[in-house]
């Protein structure tokens, strides 16, 4: 069958964030500007600000499975089960060979490798015979997606999409494409990160001068603020169940949103420094694919990591694309949760999804003194902004090596 023109919808959401373990908790925390960032003790570094999730790892897997697997896998399993439960499908009757699992990630395997090297040096007297035989399956890049398939008995395709901090958006984009190509009939897709468990990422951002710090950890992540000083590393996960509209309607599914536009491109400029022109191009490509104008977008969720240069680059891009729109409102999420890396795109989109129901644009957090170079009209700062209706949301997610992504979702209407 030809599914290329099929409408694609989100029917279930499973997530864990530093300030909530389901979409309603997460949404309420963002509306109330509730931070999920704390200080943790990091090996070799002492205290660092980080966003740590508190979901129940044992809710959907037993002790043995967790011991063999990974924190990233446990996060993915939790989010996948929550999404499947949320979408209301009769899982026992689903053809598991026609289910695809697409998980965006930043890095994977660092946690296990660092821990085992540490034990090798400090406890095992460098005896490699004591190296865990679970190491290889734990550290292959497809592990988080594969652990989902093992847990849910899915025999269809699974893979991770290594796309840095654009990973969450890229997982969703992959699901849309595979459903339209007829490769699968049901998809579990999004992104995740286990970053707070690895020393290396904190050390690298610190060496780069891009690690967010503050005596009060809840104020360490300050996107767009004049006093921002870098990224707060966080973990998290968000996976969606994604279906063709015809299938969702046939089973009477609740529909959160319709995916109507997306785009991805590459700066080809620098390893870490973003490019305004390419971000402008990416957003315009997504608008073109959706067949709408910039003025049709009601909410723009910025990537806004809290780095001095990155926020300014993206601000210029957003101003350029939306300069003629007076009805597009802008927010950010990382002030409340930090940077959840591979999960960021999917998780931050989820934080705005319920605006289709309540009409509220959640505010940015920790903008105490707006950077003049980040000043934009309709930036929602202090309190939620109530709109008469929310029809379209655009979600930006950008990553190292210059990967950019923009996803547009629409309020579902027959």
Q: Using alpha carbons, select from 89, 73, 10 the residue that is nearest to residue 352.
A: 10
Task: Output the CA torsion 90→96→98→100 (10° steps).
Answer: 100
**Cα separation, 39 vs 202, whole angstroms:** 13
Among residues 81, 158, 303, 362, the one annotated as catalytic is 303
- Extract the tokens encoding 54: 């508190």
Among residues 53, 79, 165, 282, the one annotated as catalytic is 165
Query: Catalytic residue at 339?
Result: yes
Query: Catalytic residue at 214?
Result: no
C-alpha distances out from residue 250 to 175, 246, 364, Å: 20, 6, 38
* CA angle 51–57–55, rounded 5-degree value: 40
Q: At 375, phi and psi to the nearest 5?
A: -75, 130
Among residues 339, 362, 364, 374, the one annotated as catalytic is 339
**Cα separation, 64 vs 71, whole angstroms:** 13
| 309 Cβ contact list (under 8 Å, min separation 6) | 273, 274
**Cα separation, 79 vs 185, whole angstroms:** 20
**Cα separation, 1 vs 237, whole angstroms:** 33
Query: Catalytic residue at 165?
Result: yes
* SS3 state of residue 261: strand
Catalytic residues: 165, 303, 339
């Amino acid at each position: 069958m030809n599914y290329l023109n099929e409408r694609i919808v989100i029917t279930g959401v499973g997530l864990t964030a530093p300030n909530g373990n389901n979409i309603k908790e997460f949404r309420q925390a963002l509306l109330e500007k509730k931070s999920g960032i704390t200080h943790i003790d990091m090996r070799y570094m002492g205290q660092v600000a980080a966003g740590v999730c508190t979901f129940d790892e044992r809710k959907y897997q037993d002790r043995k499975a967790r011991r063999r697997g990974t924190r990233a896998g446990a996060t993915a399993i939790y989010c996948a089960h929550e999404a499947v439960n949320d979408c209301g499908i009769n899982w026992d009757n689903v053809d598991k060979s026609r289910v695809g699992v697409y998980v965006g990630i930043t890095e994977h395997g660092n946690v296990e490798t660092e821990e085992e090297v540490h034990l090798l040096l400090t406890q095992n007297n460098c005896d490699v015979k004591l190296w865990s035989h679970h190491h290889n399956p734990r550290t292959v890049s497809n592990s988080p997606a594969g652990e989902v398939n093992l847990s849910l008995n899915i025999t269809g395709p699974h893979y991770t999409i290594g796309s840095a901090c654009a990973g969450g958006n890229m997982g969703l984009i992959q699901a849309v494409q595979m459903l339209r190509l007829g490769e699968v009939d049901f998809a579990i897709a999004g992104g995740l990160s286990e970053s707070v468990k690895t020393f290396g990422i904190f050390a690298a951002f610190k060496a780069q001068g891009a690690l967010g710090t503050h005596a009060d950890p809840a104020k360490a992540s300050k996107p767009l603020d004049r006093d921002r000083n870098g990224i707060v590393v966080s973990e998290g996960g968000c996976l969606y169940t994604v279906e063709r509209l015809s299938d969702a309607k046939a089973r009477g599914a609740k529909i959160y949103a319709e995916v109507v536009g997306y785009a991805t491109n590459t700066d080809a400029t620098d390893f870490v420094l973003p490019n305004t022109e390419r971000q402008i191009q990416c957003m315009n490509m997504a608008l073109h694919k959706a067949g709408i104008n910039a003025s049709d977008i009601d909410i723009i969720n910025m990537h806004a990591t809290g780095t001095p240069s990155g926020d300014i680059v993206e601000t210029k891009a957003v101003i350029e694309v939306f300069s003629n729109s007076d009805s597009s409102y802008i927010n950010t999420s990382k002030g409340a949760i930090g940077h959840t890396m591979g999960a960021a795109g999917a998780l931050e989109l989820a934080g705005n999804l319920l605006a289709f129901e309540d009409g509220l644009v959640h505010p940015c957090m920790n903008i105490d003194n707006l950077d003049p170079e980040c000043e934009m009209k309709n930036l929602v700062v202090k309190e939620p902004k109530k709109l008469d209706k929310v029809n379209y949301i655009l979600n930006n997610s950008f990553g190292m090596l210059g990967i950019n992504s923009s996803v547009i979702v629409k309020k579902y209407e027959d």
